[in-house]
Structure 1
Amino acid sequence: MFLVTLVLGSLISVSSSTWLGIWMGLEINLLSMIPLMTSPLNAFSNESAIKYFITQALASAILMFTVLGFETMGLLTSTLLMESVLFTKMGAAPFHFWFPEVMEGLNWSNSLILMTWQKLAPMVILSYLPLIPSFTLIVIAASMTISGIMGINQSSLRKIMAFSSINHIGWMLSTIMFVETIWTLYFTVYSLISSAIVFTLHSLNISHVKQLFTAFDNNNTKLLFSLNFFSLGGMPPFLGFMPKWMAIQSLIDLGMVLTTLVMIILTLIPLYYYIRLTIASMVLQVEIPLTSKNKLNSMLPAILNGVSVLGLIVSSVLFNFL
């Protein structure tokens, strides 16, 4: 039931024509997410739920304050505050302080919701606003820089995925700002790749990098899982390369060569710890098992892994015939 109202809240926000409706949808979404996050068996999830509620409630209060005081504050100040609120709700840097800590206390299912669906409404609402270019570019650069640096020394896979999500927010904000039509494709592909990785980690009950050493008893599963991180990093010939390729091409066509170059360079930092995870799962071995070797009983992770790895090749073939 709470999952239905979670989706309903986001849909109300993105389809509303008034700020009251947008605020109401965001609040329904928030109040539906809290029960999903809490668990009587996990004290950390309750702590994460409290952190999430306080942050999101504060952001919603600032949003209502901005809407009510729009005429007295002026367009520039109001837009700046609204953008800041939406950046906070999606977890973009430097408003990301809550995101990795909340992710750390959640299970993998709720982590996936937080990385994907919970970003949908703020990003769609952001696309309705007359964005301030200089401020948005600062947030894009901060998201990609901070996520790259902070993710290097992490041993928790949830925090690594959180910082990876913040890095991808930078790319998605650039598509919203300059080439809005590509944003839908980027968000869909990112959600698909993240789902493939998270479902695999959930099925094998993996939470830390050291558990990757002995988690896989099947070499094919190990290979597909490892290649998913290359896809998440946007390396060809995997599916994750396609939206980055289209975004880069569109940004260059608009004359944003320097911005594109900086974004590509900053993307190489997360790629380093993706490669580290791949080496951990493919090469390194330990004699003492650090996790039980649970088999992938569901076909869903395997299917998502296959689509994530082979999606670019299949889509390229289809485009040639269309």
Structure 2
Amino acid sequence: MFNLYKILFFITLIFGSLIAISSYSWLSMWMGLEINLLSIIPLLSNSKNLYPSEAALKYFITQTLASSILLFSIILALNLKEYFSENMIFLNMILNSALLTKIGAAPFHAWFPEVLEGLNWMNSLLMLTWQKLAPMVLIFYNCKLSSFFLSIILLSTIISGILGLNQMSLRKIMAYSSINHISWMLASMMNSQYIWLIYFIIYSVISLNIILILNLNQIFYLNQLFNSLNSMKMMKLIFMFNFFSLGGLPPFLGFFPKWLVINNLVQHNFFLLSFFLIIFTLITLFFYLRITFSTFVINSNEVLIFTPIKMNYLIMFFNFLSLSGLLICTLIFNYI
């Protein structure tokens, strides 16, 4: 039975994010983020999670630290404006560091895979998608092209590529994948709001597809994945296509936002940045391929006695949306 308190906290979670996004002052934005934080803690301390209290406590401590730094920078900016008029870059750095800690961008990322490891798939989906929305919009309001932002983008793409290589837990792989996509979103933010929005929506749809399949089969580690999906060929194929899409391979929907970002960066003469993003995304694509590799090999183990799991209509709908999305997007943008 779905508890009523979860519905209440889920509504206030959404409400807090919307307050933060639609505010006119930094203080009310901070209040919206705090409502969001206080709403997600009861949802994280759920008995179905692997380490409920540990994950909730880690998340609470890091978010509180980020919130206090954010409030500190807002108060400094409001009260000491005449002193910081020449040095507003320093204040922007403090403010953006707090917001980047909230979304888990490198080098402020250490808490993110650890928290995700202690959660179930539905809470992980919430962390990977909705919890990124409000801080990212606030970063967009305050995003100025600087060496600080460029270094954050490069660090996020390099660290996520390297640290994701030796992971066996699918939740940690999704966390490092998310950090890699954060670098692409920050790169898209520097020039265009619409490209960031398209990227975020498409990333959310692909993550939803993958997590719905993993949640249906209760798969958390690679060895479980290899054993479970061998008996369901259709789901295995869809799952493989979704990981290709997440990596940004051309026939799939995930290629579309990356294509837009690269095009935008090249138009604004960010050749080196786009080169680094592409190269280190190839590393993340390598560990996506490692996940789907069992599908390609001829020799694979199959369980003779298994309980068949029916394909969910919701999963089929979202996968159809994702796999036919590139064609739809191309047709729409041709006729706009």
1:101 aligns with 2:108: no
Per-residue deviation, residues 150-177 of structure 1 (Å, max 9, x unmatched):
0011000000000000000000000111
Summarize the alignment of residues 1-322 of structure 1 with structure 2, pairs less than 5 Å apart: 1-42=8-49, 44-70=51-77, 71=80, 72=83, 74-216=87-229, 217-283=231-297, 285-286=300-301, 295-322=309-336
Seen in structure 2, the aligned counterparts of structure 1 residues 41 and 268 have a Cα distance that, compared at 3 Å, is closer
Seen in structure 2, the aligned counterparts of structure 1 residues 277 and 75 have a Cα distance that, compared at 3 Å, is same
Taking only aligned residues, the RMSD between alpha carbons, in angstroms, comes to: 1.8
Q: Which has the higher contact order (CA 8 A, sep 6+)?
A: 1
Per-residue deviation, residues 121-140 of structure 1 (Å, max 9, x unmatched):
11100111142510001000
1:302 Cα deviation from its structure 2 partner = 1.9
Verify the 8 A CA contact 1:48 1:102 in the aligned structure 2: yes
Seen in structure 2, the aligned counterparts of structure 1 residues 40 and 223 have a Cα distance that, compared at 3 Å, is closer
Seen in structure 2, the aligned counterparts of structure 1 residues 293 and 204 have a Cα distance that, compared at 3 Å, is farther
1:15 Cα deviation from its structure 2 partner = 0.7
Larger deviation: 70-79 or 171-180?
70-79
Q: Letter of the aligned partner of 2:67 in structure 1?
A: S
1:321 Cα deviation from its structure 2 partner = 4.5
Q: Letter of the aligned partner of 2:72 in structure 1?
A: F
Larger deviation: 171-180 or 269-278?
171-180
1:294 Cα deviation from its structure 2 partner = 5.7
Seen in structure 2, the aligned counterparts of structure 1 residues 320 and 131 have a Cα distance that, compared at 3 Å, is closer
Secondary structure of the corresponding residue to residue 276 of structure 2: helix
TM-score normalised to structure 1 length: 0.95
Secondary structure of the corresponding residue to residue 199 of structure 2: helix
Larger deviation: 277-286 or 240-249?
277-286
- Aligned residue pairs, count: 321
Secondary structure of the corresponding residue to residue 94 of structure 1: coil
Amino-acid identity (%):
48
How far apart are the structure 2 equivalents of 1:312 and 1:41?
A: 36
Unmatched segments (≥5 aa) in structure 2: 1-7
How far apart are the structure 2 equivalents of 1:279 and 1:30?
A: 38
Verify the 8 A CA contact 1:214 1:293 in the aligned structure 2: no
Larger deviation: 15-24 or 38-47?
38-47
How far apart are the structure 2 equivalents of 1:299 and 1:32?
A: 30
Seen in structure 2, the aligned counterparts of structure 1 residues 75 and 53 have a Cα distance that, compared at 3 Å, is same
1:256 Cα deviation from its structure 2 partner = 1.1
Q: Letter of the aligned partner of 2:170 in structure 1?
A: L
1:41 Cα deviation from its structure 2 partner = 5.0
1:319 Cα deviation from its structure 2 partner = 3.4
Seen in structure 2, the aligned counterparts of structure 1 residues 129 and 42 have a Cα distance that, compared at 3 Å, is closer
Seen in structure 2, the aligned counterparts of structure 1 residues 41 and 317 have a Cα distance that, compared at 3 Å, is closer
1:292 Cα deviation from its structure 2 partner = 6.8
Per-residue deviation, residues 209-250 of structure 1 (Å, max 9, x unmatched):
111112122212211110110100011110000000111111
1:20 Cα deviation from its structure 2 partner = 1.3
How far apart are the structure 2 equivalents of 1:53 and 1:311?
A: 37
1:77 Cα deviation from its structure 2 partner = 1.7
Verify the 8 A CA contact 2:210 2:239 in the aligned structure 1: yes
